[in-house]
Amino acid sequence: MAEITLVEAVNLAMAYEMSVDPDVIVMGEDVATNGGVFRATLGLLDKFGPERVLDTPLAESMIAGLAVGMAARGLKPVAEFQFMGFIYPALDEIINHASRMRNRTRGRLTCPLVFRTPFGAGIHAPEHHSESTEAYFAHTPGLRVVIPSSPSRAYGLLLASIRDPDPVVFLEPSRLYRYAKQEVKDDGKALPLDVCFTLRSGDDVTLVTWGAMVKETLAAANTLQQAGISAEVIDVATIKPLDINTILASVEKTGRCIVIHEAPLTCGVGAEILAQVVEKALFSLKAPPERVTGFDTIVPYAKLEKYYIPSEKRIIDAVNRLMEYA
Amino acid sequence: MKIFYLPDLGEGLAEAEIREWYIKEGDVVKVDQPLVSMETAKAVVDVPSPYAGKITQLHGKANEIVKTGAPLISYETDEVVADKGSVVGKLETSEKKWDDGDVIIGGAKTKSTTIKAMPAARVLAQQLNVDLSQVTATGPQGLITANDVKQFIDKSPASALTGETESLRGVRRVMAQIMAQSHKEVVPVTIVEDVDLTDLPPKSDLTTLILKAIVAGVKAEPALNVWFDGKTLERKMFDEVHIGLAVDSAEGLFVPVIKNAEAKSDQELRQTVDEYKKSVADRSVSPKDLQGATITLSNFGMIAGRYATPIIVPPAVAILGCGRSRDAVIARDGKMVVGKIMPLSLTFDHRAVTGGEATRFLGAVIKNLQQK
């Protein structure tokens, strides 16, 4: 069992599934010869050949369109977009075709594809390489939005996403790509989609987050633990459809809820989560729920990035505000 | 095989000239070993080897120009070169281990322990210092409502006593409002003193004497016979002395006003007092008789009590309370004698009246009473 990074886990999951399922195709800009901009597809060309690992032109709309066509005809394409900020030319294919193929054909055709893309700030890149626009996709019926936050979850959730018969937008937190290593067993075992992962159990406050913000949230939970505040940390993992029941059960226990996400505040996924918490767990709330998020601005350049990404301190400050309500 | 491409040796240099090779094809080199001396538009620099391995080809001869990014040297090497992959940005790398702890797929298996309560109920419980776990919930699905919190308070031991609740009406209601208003506004100080009435002739009309003493006190110290406006900080002095007389009744407290007490004879004063007592008792007292006091007398000693802290009703600034007079042992000329003592309590509004003015007034009242 090897200790690998998150990006290596992504690579491992694709390699595993390609080895057991000849229908799985990997495609995207520079994914074959070059091994991908972050080397997520490194070595796949050598192992599986140019018919299954395809370098595409620099045309995201075409990448998505090709993937939709392949998927509708029974292949299982895993298409990479180099950065989330490059995905928008493909939205027409994703929203108008991939997400509604099953519905439009009354179930005759499905779209078993995965759109992979790195996302999020923290790697000192230009702004359109740094954004977190998961809410666009979560808002679209027919799309599954999955976000791993550790090597093991990247491996297990990507396997599940490739095997899922419907389109999955698989968002990989780039600042966690090589941040740390974890032992991951390459056994082809998928993790369940559409369910949260409770990373820490606690009694005083529920911290709901996903992707790269899991890092700061766990750090905050550890600091709070030393101050005698016990935080439950939930990694939502599948943003859409949302496993609200796990969140509600936790909030009913703790009575306090904070959602942490890197994306801007307005209309972020945190708004949906807190709306449901207020609708369904209002009477368990001891304190007004809060969101700790990025700002309603374009992600700044490298020097200001650290002020944009919600810090451990901002999370702790929010928890302390909620703890004032006994 | 690895190819070493000529890096940019300055800032945005497009090319460089080979001055001298330090190695030749077939040499085995180490990392950082100087390979070649290159001359750029800015300087001559030695280029170190990025790899360890055997040199298989030099892509150029001395004095030839090489473009930045063009092949410079080919290696034969087994070295696996660390490949960070990123063409844009910098990824944080570390040897840190992911500490995933005990990850639970889904939620932690714990039963809900929080008390379900309406937000309004929580606020109310906090205000009333009620422990929500003690409250019986009547809302849907075991929800505590604001009403449940009120019910809990009503059922608490303090509320268990029987007794009827009545709304205050009329004079009693006005009293409640006026007293609360006074308490909010006035800065009261009360001074007490005994007056020796031993030498007073028997059957003297004490109430009339006190009214006259107040007039004498006001003459000595007019600052107590004023109206004070706390908002504008204005005081209005009066030549007339309109004395409010606190009269107790079953309905509540009445304070009819003896107008122009300074101009009234003993007999007129007594007559006015008697009329007011009657009109208060049969509720015939006219509203205009209840207004305009410049100073007030509370003769509570007629019932019981020695000293008090009488309450001033703004805009007046002083009220004199007379306690019950009694026989007492008094020191006089070095001897103990049994005499008659009446306790006085003067409350003044310290916003408008100084302590000196108040005590001079009280002294003048006492002196006047003792001259009789």
The 10 Å Cβ neighbour count of residue A304 is: 12
pLDDT of residue B85: 57
Pair (B142, B175) in one structural domain:
no
- Tokens 């901002």 -> residue: A314
Residues of A in contact with B83 (CB under 8 A): 39, 42
Q: Is residue A160 domain-resident?
A: yes
Say if B331 is an interface residue toward chain A (CB within 8 Å).
no
* CA distances to A187, A285, B37, B54, B57 from B28, in Å: 42, 71, 18, 4, 12
Q: A201 lies in a domain?
A: yes
B80 neighbourhood in chain A, CB within 8 Å: none
Could you give the CA distance from residue A234 to residue A281 in angstroms, rounded to a whole number? 16
Q: Has A129 been annotated as catalytic?
A: yes
Same domain, B246 and B134: no
How far apart, in Å, are the Cα atoms of B194 and each of A10, A119, B170, B191, B303? 97, 89, 36, 11, 18
Question: In sequence order, what E strands does B98-176 have?
Answer: 104-105
Residues A10 and A151 in one domain: yes
Does B132 lie in the same domain as B72? no
CB contact under 8 A, B88 and A252: no
Min mean pLDDT across A23-27, A117-121, B29-33, B86-90 is at B86-90
Which of B22, B29, B21 is closest to B2 using CA atoms?
B29
Tell me: do B149 and B175 sit in the same domain. Answer: no
How far is it, in rounded angstroms, from Cα A273 to Cα A283? 16
Confidence of residue A315 (pLDDT cuts 50, 70, 90): very high
Is there a contact between A109 and A135 (Cβ–Cβ < 8 Å)? no
| Higher pLDDT, residue A129 or A158 | A158
Q: Is the domain of A295 the same as that of A175?
A: no
How far is B293 from B274, CA to CA, in rounded Å?
18
Residue A95 CB: number of other CB atoms within 10 A? Answer: 18
| Model pLDDT, residue B80 | 61
Nearest by CB: B96 against A126, A179, A199: A179
Q: How far is CA A238 from CA A135, A148, A156, A169, in A?
A: 12, 8, 12, 10
- Rounded to a whole number of angstroms, the distance from the CA of A40 to the nearest CA of chain B is 9
| Positions in chain B whose pLDDT score sits under 50 | none
Q: Write b or e for each residue in A111-146: b if 16 or more Cβ atoms lie within 10 A of its Cβ, otherwise e.
A: bbbbbbbbbbbbbbbebebbbbbbbbbbebebbbbb
On whether residue A85 sits in a domain, the answer given is yes
pLDDT at B247: 87
Contact list, B97 vs chain A (CB under 8 Å): 3, 180-182
Read off the pLDDT of residues B192-236 as tens digits, 9 standing for 90 and up.
999 999 888 888 888 999 999 999 999 999 999 999 999 999 999
Cross-chain Cβ contact B89/A129 below 8 Å: yes
Residues A9 and A136 in one domain: yes
What is the per-residue pLDDT for B87?
60
Q: What is the DSSP string of A160-205?
A: HHHHSSS-EEEEEEGGGTTT-BEEE--S-PPPPSS--EEEE--SSE
For residue A96, is it within any domain?
yes
Mean pLDDT of chain A: 96
Query: Total domain count for chain A?
Result: 2
Indicate which CATH number applies to the domain containing B235.
3.30.559.10
The answer to whether residues A128 and A83 touch, using CB atoms and an 8 Å cutoff, is yes
Q: Is B213 a member of any domain?
A: yes
Examine the fold and report which residue of A184, A206, A234 is the final residue of a domain before the chain moves on: A184
Q: What amino acid is encoded at B193 in this protein?
A: E
Instruction: Quickly state the pLDDT bin for A42 (edges 50, 70, 90).
Output: very high
Q: Is B277 helix (H, G, I), strand (E, B) or coil?
A: helix
Residues B208 and B332 both lie in one domain: yes
Length of chain A as a residue count:
326
CA distance B150 to B127: 11
Same domain, yes or no: A30 and A99: yes
Phi, psi of A249 (to 5 degrees): -60, -40
Separation between Cα atoms, residue B319 and residue B367, nearest integer Å: 18
pLDDT bucket at A324, cuts 50 / 70 / 90: confident
pLDDT tens track for A232-275: 999 999 999 999 999 999 999 999 999 999 999 999 999 999 99
Asked if the structure places residue B110 within a domain, the reply is: no
Residue A34: half-sphere exposure toward Cβ, Cα within 13 Å: 15
Asked, for residue B247, whether it belongs to a domain, the answer is yes
Give the residue from A189, A205, A283, A284 with the most B CB atoms within 10 Å of its CB, the best one to mutate.
A283
- List alpha helices for chain A, DSSP H: 6-20, 44-48, 60-72, 91-93, 101-104, 134-138, 151-163, 213-226, 244-254, 269-281, 305-308, 312-323
In a domain, A190, yes or no: no
Task: Choose the final residue of a domain: A184, A206, A226.
Answer: A184
The residues facing A115 across adjacent strands are A79, A169
Q: Are A206 and A104 contained in the same domain? A: no
B87 lies in some domain? no
A198 to B107: CB separation less than 8 angstroms, yes or no: yes
In a domain, A289, yes or no: yes
B132 and B242 in one domain?
no
Residues A208 and A282 in one domain: yes
Report the alpha-carbon distance of residue A139 to residue A94 in Å, rounded: 12
Q: Do B89 and A201 touch (CB under 8 A)?
A: no
Taking an 8 Å cut-off on Cβ atoms, the answer to whether B119 and A150 are in contact is no
Nearest to B83 among A39, A152, A192 (CB): A39
* pLDDT value of position B253: 85
In this prediction, residues A202-215 reach a mean pLDDT of 97
Same domain, B246 and B179: yes
Q: Are residues B227 and B140 part of one domain?
A: no
Q: Which of A38-42, A98-102, B45-49 has the lowest mean pLDDT?
A: B45-49
CATH number at residue A260: 3.40.50.920
- For residues B147 and B237, membership in a common domain is answered with no
The verdict on B254 and B317 lying in the same domain is: yes
Shortest distance between the Cα of B84 and any Cα of chain A, in A, equals: 7
Q: Is residue B84 part of a domain?
A: no
Tens digits of per-residue pLDDT, A281-308?
998 898 899 999 999 999 999 889 999 9
SS3 A209: strand
**By CA distance, what is A195's nearest residue in B?**
B106
Same-domain pairing of A13 and A151: yes
Q: Do A16 and A154 fall into the same domain?
A: yes
Statement to judge: residues B190 and B270 lie in one domain: yes
Of chain A, the percentage scoring pLDDT greater than 90 comes to: 94
Q: Specify whether A32 is located in the same domain as A60.
A: yes
Minimum-distance CB partner of A179 among B94, B106, B143: B94
Does B259 contact chain A (CB < 8 Å)?
no
Query: Nearest by CB to B88, which of A5, A129, A181?
Result: A129
- Percentage of residues in chain A with pLDDT exceeding 70? 99
To test the contact with chain A by mutation, choose from B84, B97, B99, B114 the residue with the greatest count of A C-beta atoms within 10 A, namely: B114
Please, which residues 127-146 of chain B have a Cβ atom closer than 8 Å to chain A? Answer: 139, 143
Q: Do B20 and B37 contact (CB within 8 A), yes or no? A: yes
Answer whether residue A283 is part of any domain: yes
B109 touches chain A (CB under 8 A): no
Q: Chain A contact for B12, CB < 8 A? A: no
Handedness of CA A133, A138, A139, A140 (dihedral sign): positive
Q: How is residue A213 annotated by DSSP?
A: H
What is the bridge-based pairing of β-strands A290-294 and A257-264?
A: parallel
Q: Do A243 and B106 touch (CB under 8 A)?
A: yes
Q: Is residue A208 part of a domain?
A: yes
Structural domain tally of chain B?
3
> Domain limits at A319?
197-323
As a whole number of Å, the end-to-end CA separation of chain A is: 46
Q: What pLDDT digit, counting tens, does each position of A156-203 carry?
A: 999 999 999 999 999 999 999 999 999 999 999 999 999 999 999 999
Are B267 and B297 found together in one domain? yes
Question: Distance (Å, rounded) from C-alpha B153 to C-alpha A47?
Answer: 76
Q: Could you tell me if A37 and A177 lie in one domain? A: yes
Q: How far does B255 lie from chain A, in Å, by closest CA?
A: 50
On chain B, the residues whose CB falls within 8 A of the CB of A182 are 97-98, 100
Q: Is the pLDDT of residue A22 over 90?
A: yes
- Tell which of B80, B100, B111 to mutate to test the A interface (max A CBs under 10 Å): B100
| Same domain, residue pair A166 and A208 | no
B23: DSSP letter = -
Which structural domain, as residue segments, surrounds residue B24? 2-76
Residue B109, CA atoms < 13 Å, CB-side half-sphere: 3
Predicted complex: ipTM over 0.85: no
Which residues in A lie closer than 8 A to residue B93 (C-beta atoms)? 5, 178-179
